[in-house]
Amino acid sequence: MCVAWIAPSAMGYSRYVITGGSMTGSIDKGSVVFEKPVAVEDLEVGDVITYQPPAGAGTQDLVTHRIIAMEPAEGGGTLFTTQGDANPQPDPWHFKLVDEDQPVVQFSVPHAGWVFIALADRTTRLVLIGGPAALIALGALAQLLGALRPARREEEPAPVAADTEAAVPVLV
């Protein structure tokens, strides 16, 4: 699994786990999306991008939504409007992209991100990582205590006489 997670980076992809349901139907919650940078001037309506919403948008999390409108902005650049595929209304903000390149979703792998979502939860991490670690520690402690106990000596049997004929009593 590590190779499958690391290899895309070597090919220029970035990846994100989708943690919300706003793109349900095309990219479900728990999917991993793989993105490649595209020049901002090459973006098109219909592209799905992951971006930081503008200040005052009401969320500090990255958003992965579809571009539904692109208009020339005052002072130059492009003003973008996005919408989640499962949302009935467009996002209430419009924004400019400040970098020259913008990651665009190339493909997604459904359900592959659930492991990462689970590991983001402290209690789940404690159970999945701490539980086996505690069992290993208890096993090591049991072995250590067993090695420190003095060995029990078994009782030695009484020696057997070498000449058994002379030891047989005779009754008259």
59 and 138, same domain (yes or no)? no
Asked, for residue 170, whether it belongs to a domain, the answer is no
What CATH number did the domain enclosing 45 receive?
Answer: 2.10.109.10
Q: What angle do CA 89, 14, 11 make, to 5 degrees?
A: 135
Picking from 9, 4, 20, the residue whose alpha carbon sits closest to that of residue 117 is 20
Full domain range(s) for residue 134: 119-147
Q: How many domains does the chain contain in total?
A: 2
Q: Same domain for 60 and 91?
A: yes
pTM of the full structure: 0.70
Considering the domain boundaries, does residue 38 fall inside one?
yes
Total Cβ atoms within 10 A of residue 43: 18
pLDDT of residue 165: 57
- Asked whether residue 167 is assigned to any structural domain, the reply reads no
Per-residue pLDDT at 3: 67
45 and 8 within one domain = yes
Q: Is the same domain home to 95 and 21?
A: yes
Q: What is the pLDDT of residue 52?
A: 92
78 and 61 within one domain = yes
**pLDDT, position 68:** 98
- Report pLDDT for 117: 85
pLDDT, residue 9, reads 78
Nearest to 47, CA basis, from 108, 94, 103: 103
Last residue of a domain, one of 67, 89, 112: 112
3-state SS record for 157-171: CCCCCCCCCCCCCCC
Same structural domain, 34 and 65: yes
Q: Are residues 140 and 81 in the same domain?
A: no
Instruction: Tell whether 59 and 34 lie within a shared domain.
Output: yes
Report yes or no on 172 lying in a domain.
no
Residues of the chain below pLDDT 70: 1-5, 151-172
